[in-house]
Amino acid sequence: MRQRFNSMSTMFTSLKRVLKGLAEFKGLIVVVLISTVLSTVLTIFGPRELGKATTLIFEGITRLVQGTGGMDFQAIGRVLVWVATLYIISAIFSAIQGYAMITMTETYTYRLREAMMDKINRMPMAYFESTPYGEVLSRIVNDVDTLGASLSQSAAQLLTSVATIIGIGIIMFSMNGLLAILVILIVPVSVIIIQWITRYSQRYFRSQQRTLGVMTGQVEEVYSGLNIVQAFNQEEETKEEFEASNDRMWQDAWRSQFYSGILFPLMRLLSNLGYAMVVIVGAFQVIMGRMSVGEIQAFTQYVNRFTQPISQISQIMNLMQTMAASADRVYEFLDEAEESQTEGDNLVVAEVEGDVTFEHVHFGYVPGQTIIHDFSARVQSGQKVALVGPTGAGKSTIVKLLMRFYDVDGGSIRLDGEANTRYSRQSYQQAMAMVLQDTWLFKGTIMENIRYGRLDASDEEVIKAAKQARVHHFIQSLPGGYHFELSEDAANISQGQRQLLTIARALLADRPVLILDEATSSVDTRTESLIQEAMVELMKGRTSFVIAHRLSTIRDSDLIFYMEDGDIVEQGDHDTLMDLSGRYANLYNSQFAANE
């Protein structure tokens, strides 16, 4: 599962995944490398050439003082023009590098987001029922953004810094080996310091990204359920939970930035020590005639440029630690277990009759904790079946198994005599239409939301489904009718109206097996009566499963299963179960005795 970053080696393990993902951009990588090398080399030669101009000026001044001549302005001009040309060409190659790097990183993060969205469609339902939505959202949005931004900044800068260190090192050795050795001694000391600090800071960068995911989840949950929070006066408790997460975020952020922040001043200290050594030793070299004034001037520039990328590498390490933490979370998501949506035979929906059989079904969400013990039932094509029982009896779980959101641990579920595992999930689920207990509508027009049941449906078919769901009159009363724009979570219409729209969507899908999970639990009595009339016509020729606590919705069912603890305790039609005077009859009488 999740690894803790306790050393640079573990950080590099995560970065290897990033490099592997960038491997497909070979052409752009070559462009980045070539342009980086050329830009750096041309920049490196600048101080050396400027050193020649300094020597020419020094010699000219000496001749003027001695009265033996003057300045050679033509020679100085030629050197300065050459230096300007070097810097201009270097800037061009630097711009090419930036363009190629941005193109590569943005394309890489674009494909990462696509891969994560595709991954969602292949992941088991168990993952999303055990992971907060905000955590998933944080990985797809925050972590990918952080990864892309850090990669864009750190990769190009790291390449430039490494090329600069190597290039300047070669130049310095060609100019003066002794001074070069003094400067090179800074490198191993810098590496030791970076390793030591990174070992401590990376764990906090990782914790910071994880806490950010938790905070995103808290904000998403509070915002989506703000009315409930206010209705139950839970503002203070919600605030305290967020503040606790925010405190953890502050501690992780402070510690990660503190450890990584001391890198830069330490690198500057080493840089200044190196600069001081070069000036002192270089002065003796000039006095002894082993170096010219221009050469020592050029060398001091090289010392500054040599230590500058070392200091930059300390900053790059901060970015790389953040990038590694984000990359780990992104690839951890992409490495999650999958379940194939296309493996198996293709179920031809038009040929489905709707005969459903449960044969000794055993199932538990957690291994070793069985909640469906030995569920067996036969539902004939076109029957209306009701699942009734107390909360936790297993009604919704049976529906999830029928939909193949989960596969059974034991036994089988058969559709028209064939095990549902024979067919691919994708084609099998196309035979099912479902109205969930919690309505789901997206931001868009009412027409678009109903058409989601069958995307190729015409406007006339959408309107027909709305009429069957007894929601057409309500839609016509809205500004714009079917083109009325629903807000996020459809908060601008009532819960009952949202329920009716989801029923219209299921009607439009026109599939042989219909599942209604608390389908009418959120509508008033009059609306419920209208829905029942439409449902009677809809369910003719279709196998229908209805879950409802309000038994008025299932009195006309062909078969009623009363469930407790994952088993069928009583079964039969309404009259048969009432004659038994058992659990169903007691539940029914407790709801309707007063009215009758």
> Using an 8 Å Cβ cutoff, are 277 and 182 in contact?
yes
Give 516-570 pLDDT, tens digit per residue: 876 555 556 676 676 666 666 667 778 989 887 778 778 888 899 999 888 889 9
**CA-to-CA distance for 596 and 588, rounded, in angstroms?**
11
412 and 553: one domain? yes
**Could you tell me the CA-to-CA distances from 280 to 178, 285, 307 in Å, in that order?**
12, 9, 17
**What pLDDT does 412 receive?**
94
User: How sure is the predictor about 414, in pLDDT bands with cuts at 50, 70 and 90?
Assistant: very high
Q: 141 and 237: one domain?
A: yes
Higher per-residue pLDDT: 505 or 15: 505
Domain membership flag for residue 234: yes
Q: What is the pLDDT of residues 65-97, one digit of tens each?
A: 777 777 778 887 887 888 888 888 988 998 998
What pLDDT is recorded for position 4? 40
Dig out the tokens for 381 from the structure: 């094509």
Can you give the pLDDT at residue 227? 63
Confidence class of residue 1 from pLDDT cuts 50, 70 and 90?
Answer: very low
Residue 10 pLDDT > 60, yes or no? no
The residue out of 458, 488, 510 marking a domain boundary is 510
The answer to whether residue 305 scores a pLDDT higher than 80 is no
Q: How confident is the model at residue 6, as a pLDDT?
A: 47
Q: Tokens 């868009």 sit at which residue?
A: 444
- pLDDT score at 5: 43
Coil, strand or helix: which one is 337? coil
Which pLDDT tens digit goes with each residue over 415-466? 999 999 999 988 998 898 887 767 788 888 999 999 988 888 999 999 988 9
Query: Any idea what the CATH number is for the domain that residue 467 is in?
Result: 3.40.50.300
Give the confidence band of 7 by pLDDT, cuts at 50, 70, 90: very low
* Co-location of 452 and 501 in the same domain: yes
Give the pLDDT band of residue 268 (cuts 50, 70, 90): confident
Q: 276 in a domain, yes or no?
A: yes
Answer with the one of 510, 528, 549 that is the final residue of a domain: 510
- Mean pLDDT calculated for residue range 98-114: 90
- CATH value at residue 12: 1.20.1560.10
> Measuring CA to CA, which residue among 533, 469, 521, 529 is closest to residue 496?
521
Distance CA(402)–CA(545), nearest Å, equals: 10
Is pTM beyond 0.75? Reply is: no
With beta carbons less than 8 A apart as the criterion, state whether 414 and 353 touch.
Answer: no
Residue 3 lies in a domain: no
Are 304 and 347 members of one domain?
no
Assign 401 a pLDDT band (cuts: 50, 70, 90): very high
Q: What is the pLDDT of residue 258?
A: 79
| Assigned domain for 320 exists | yes
Distances (CA, A) of 417 to 319, 378, 404, 413, 558: 58, 11, 16, 9, 20
Same structural domain for residues 480 and 377?
no
- Are 518 and 589 in the same domain? yes
Q: Which of 233-237, 339-343, 425-429 has the lowest mean pLDDT?
A: 233-237
Average pLDDT over residues 330-354: 88
How many domains in the chain?
3
pLDDT over 80 (residue 230): no
Q: How many CB atoms lie within 10 A of CB 460?
A: 8
Do 445 and 418 fall into the same domain?
A: no
Q: What percent of the chain has pLDDT over 70?
A: 88
pLDDT of residue 493 exceeding 70, the answer is yes
Check whether residue 462 and residue 492 sit in a common domain. yes
Is the Cβ–Cβ distance between 561 and 378 less than 8 Å? no
The reply to whether 1 falls in a domain is no
Are 420 and 557 part of one and the same domain?
Answer: yes
**Residue 255 — pLDDT band, cuts 50, 70, 90?**
confident
Residue 2 lies in a domain: no
Q: Which of 479, 494, 510 is the last residue of a domain?
A: 510
330 and 364 in a single domain? The answer is no
Mean of the per-residue pLDDT values of the chain: 81
Question: Do 531 and 490 share a structural domain?
Answer: no
Residues 495 and 586 both lie in one domain: no
- Higher pLDDT pick, 573 / 534: 573
Report pLDDT digits (tens) over 311-328: 677 667 777 777 888 888
Stretch 292-315: mean pLDDT, rounded?
Answer: 72
Three-state DSSP state, 487: coil
pLDDT at position 560, please?
Answer: 92
**pLDDT(592) > 70:** no
Q: State the residue range of the domain holding 12.
A: 8-334
**Domain for residue 474, yes or no?**
yes
Q: What is the pLDDT of residue 2?
A: 41
In the prediction, which pLDDT does 182 show?
Answer: 78
Q: Which residues of 347-361 are buried (b: 16+ CB within 10 A; e: fewer)?
A: bebeebebbbbbbeb
Asked, for residue 586, whether it belongs to a domain, the answer is yes
